[in-house]
Structure 1
Amino acid sequence: MKPKKKAAPTATTGTVMEPETLPVQPPKLKVLLVDDHPITRQGMKALVNQQPNLEVCGEADNAAYAIELVSKLQPDLAIVDIALKTTNGIELTKNIKVQAPNLPVLIVSMHDEGLYAERALRAGAMGYLMKQEAGEKIIQAIQRLLQGEIYLSDKIKEKMLHRFVNKKGDGMVFSIDTLSDREMEVFQLIGNGYSTRQIAQKLNLSSKTIDSYREHLKLKLNLESGAELVRHAIQWARNEGSI
């Protein structure tokens, strides 16, 4: 006789295994890129998207489309270049802050921080970063802004602190601070050797408008002639850096 097969043991008691649940990942924070250079946007997008808590939600190459995307996408942070096709990033920042007062804006630009960082902060930006440093520091800057902090280089923070503490008596320093952003652009371009016609082409304005800006600059800076304006502009550009 063949031996009888033993019946498989049946479990009468035991613990019911619950299916394993994975931790829920928080939604990524959305970053809007505003820059008129596609290659620059592509590089920044790659850096941002590598971060576990960040993603680029939209890209714009001009101010009008940027404003549209701010309303449509509701980003958590905007990265804005100063040099755009139709306006500058500082003016765009002012418009963004009217539409979305709580949206942190990081200015990333090739322009000298000594000239534009303070203006960017006055316009409502929370940080300023030079493009040549952006690759290694942009993520640090983004995370700082998302925590509600201001991001500036140590160099510009020290410069601003010295200006506050020392309160230089140089009338030129205080006069420069009274210029509008557009007047500052014209003044800087004069200092870098641009003619009236070249400035008009660069800023998409008429030569007549640039001549008016020159007159306003002479009045605000208490200068008597166009030659004196050029001399002061060149001196300022050498001290503060070129566009």
Structure 2
Amino acid sequence: MTFETISPPVTNPVSVRKVLIVDDHPAFRYGMVRLLKQLGGFEVSGEAGDGMTALEIFRRTKPDIVLMDISLPGCDGVELTKMMLSEEPGLTVLVVSMYDESNYALRALRAGAKGYLRKDESITELGTALQRISSHGLYVSQRFSDRLVFKAIHSGEDLGDSYLRMLSDRELEVFRAIGQGLGTREIAERLCLSIKTIETHRAHIKRKLRAEDSNEVVKLARDLQNLKESA
């Protein structure tokens, strides 16, 4: 996302909405704080770089909006969205992610998020998304909207989708990491989970995908990774 200076959109000066920024990159959080100040009508109530810290700040500050990343240490953004909404059903979540996949957008929306943007979307689009979801609407960028419509029409036709539908959100994180060539210990460190937990997830993935052994799981994960990169 480009952090350029822009003219602030028209906002309601009476209603200032508290925003919690959840992202594991400090530079991105810093940029988001600057952008929200430029947009006007928003007040940053806190920042967090991992799931546990985000939950603590969320419970303490009671934000109106959460800007949520997908990939976080300890708890991915989709699961974190579910947890927060279970405690505060009126919360508004906008997922801002590096992942250019409609599968992630679908999972986020199904978890209760009100919008999904990539991090490289223009700041103008971020402002539009915040205004829309602040008015109790939904917002997905045009390129994701087109893909979601196509997916709704042709659901289940693609190899990657058939795999992803079988896996839980956490299993998907592990499966994606396997496809990127990470071992069990590396995945555990990335997700801030125990090695035993990752091994359990790998066993569930193997069973759900009906793979003969761990080597076949790795092959399937790498095939899917290559499929996404070439799409």
TM bucket, shorter chain:
0.7 to 0.9
Aligned equivalents of 1:67 and 1:201: distance in 2? Answer: 20
Question: Superposition pairs for residues 1-243 of structure 1, below 5 Å?
Answer: 25-133=13-121, 135-169=123-157, 173-241=161-229
Greater relative contact order: 1 or 2 (C-alpha under 8 angstroms, separation 6 or more)?
Answer: 2
Q: CA deviation at 1:171?
A: 7.0
Q: Aligned to 1:132, what secondary structure does the other structure show?
A: coil
Which residues of structure 1 form unaligned runs of 5+? Answer: 1-23
Q: CA deviation at 1:124?
A: 1.3
Q: CA deviation at 1:218?
A: 1.7
Change (3 A) 1:62 1:202: closer
Structure 2: which amino acid aligns with 1:215?
A: A
Aligned equivalents of 2:53 and 2:77: distance in 1? Answer: 13
Structure 1: which amino acid aligns with 2:26?
A: P
TM-score (norm: length of structure 2): 0.83
Contact kept in structure 2, 1:78 and 1:105, CA below 8 Å = yes
Aligned equivalents of 1:198 and 1:62: distance in 2? Answer: 17
Aligned equivalents of 1:62 and 1:226: distance in 2? Answer: 29
Q: Aligned to 2:110, what secondary structure does the other structure show?
A: helix
Q: Aligned to 2:18, what secondary structure does the other structure show?
A: strand
Contact kept in structure 2, 1:191 and 1:237, CA below 8 Å = yes
Structure 2: which amino acid aligns with 1:119?
A: R
Q: CA deviation at 1:177?
A: 0.8
Aligned equivalents of 1:46 and 1:172: distance in 2? Answer: 37
Structure 2: which amino acid aligns with 1:97?
A: L
State which drifts further: 143-152 or 24-33: 24-33
Contact kept in structure 2, 1:114 and 1:240, CA below 8 Å = no
Residue-by-residue CA offset, 1:13-52 (whole Å, 9 max, x unaligned): xxxxxxxxxxx95132222212232221111111111123
Contact kept in structure 2, 1:200 and 1:207, CA below 8 Å = yes
Aligned equivalents of 1:110 and 1:172: distance in 2? Answer: 19
**Percent pairwise identity:** 41
State which drifts further: 213-222 or 93-102: 213-222
Change (3 A) 1:25 1:182: closer
Instruction: Name the count of aligned residue pairs.
Output: 219
Q: CA deviation at 1:134?
A: 5.4
Which residues of structure 2 form unaligned runs of 5+? Answer: 1-11
Q: Aligned to 2:185, what secondary structure does the other structure show?
A: helix
